[in-house]
Amino acid sequence: MKFHSLMLPHGTLIPVIVGSLVWLALGSLALLGLIGLSLLEQLFLLAPLVITPLSLPLLRILEQQPLQYALYRAIRAGQPVCALLAAVAFLLPPGLPAGALALAWLGLTGLAALLGLLRLVARASFDTKELVIDASLAYLAIGGGWLVLSRLGINPLGFDETIILLTAVHFHYAGFAAPLITGLTGHALSAANRSQKLYRGSALGVIAGTPLVAAGITLSPLVEVVGAVILATSLAGIAYLTRYLVLRVITGTLARTFLTISAVCLLAGMLFTYLYALGEFSGYPLVSIPQMVIIHGMLNSLGFALFGLLGWTAIYGASAGV
């Protein structure tokens, strides 16, 4: 299926391949004990090295104004270098040198947030499928800010390093990848003239749930639980729409396989979100944070985000000859 006029730029996969090789090399070195990278740090680095270069070409750049397009081109050009600097920052102990390297990624994500704002202002209309993409760009910058705090070794409000890095991870996956995939799902549904009612509610829930979860960590467990339930339920709705509506209008075997894996992993990951929220609300933890990192984190990053973006890349790339 071909959606509108969007085609992926040439050379789309080069930064993805390079980033993947770097990520696999770092993971291998960590597995051999040659460098000290935790699983959480490796999951985070997947975002700048692989998830972001996969995501950027999927923005609807052909519908943007010249200023937006120029900003987009600058972001794409700077992403590989800024991602590599972020990776190097994790090879250093927390402090000024590591924080200075991470600033490059914050700067890039700040440009992404500006692009989202320009898109929103230029559009001047309430289009849920575009609004959720704008939000994804804004949330990416928040994730960049928490990355800098992590690498500087700063502990705001007494949070330990794990919570700070988890917040950075949260805004790169739940805050960036998930809303972008949600926006792409909305465009597919619109192109196929499918019902938008469930989609609009789910998309708005994705936008609201992400900051609520983060705010709940600071404000109260109740807010965190409410945010987690809203986010999990909304993403479950996106998984349902993908599996039972979007896949019906897609013919490519590779794209269908990737999106099916993504939807299944998303539902499984949201199950653990419900269990974690229930444990927080009841005061009797059902899933620990280390378990959430291993199970929920891998399902969301490698399963939902990576395969979801690969699926959409297969759809658009087929029409562009990528």
Provide the pLDDT for residue 76: 94
Mean pLDDT by 10 residues, the chain (322 residues): 48 88 97 94 97 90 78 95 98 96 98 94 86 96 97 88 92 96 91 77 94 81 86 93 87 90 93 83 80 89 95 73 38
Cβ(3)–Cβ(188) below 8 Å: yes
* Whether the predicted model's global pTM rises above the 0.95 cut: no
Instruction: Quote the tokens at residue 12.
Output: 């789309």
pLDDT value for 322: 40
* Boundaries of every domain in the chain: 13-320
Find the radius of gyration of the CA atoms of the chain: 19
CA distance 273 to 279: 10
Provide the pLDDT for residue 13. 82
**139: which 2 tokens?**
């949330």
The pLDDT of residue 244 is 87
Torsion of CA 272, 217, 233, 285, to 10 degrees: 30
C-beta separation of 201 from 132 below 8 A = no
- pLDDT attached to residue 4: 42
- The pLDDT value recorded for residue 62 is 57
231 SS3 class: helix
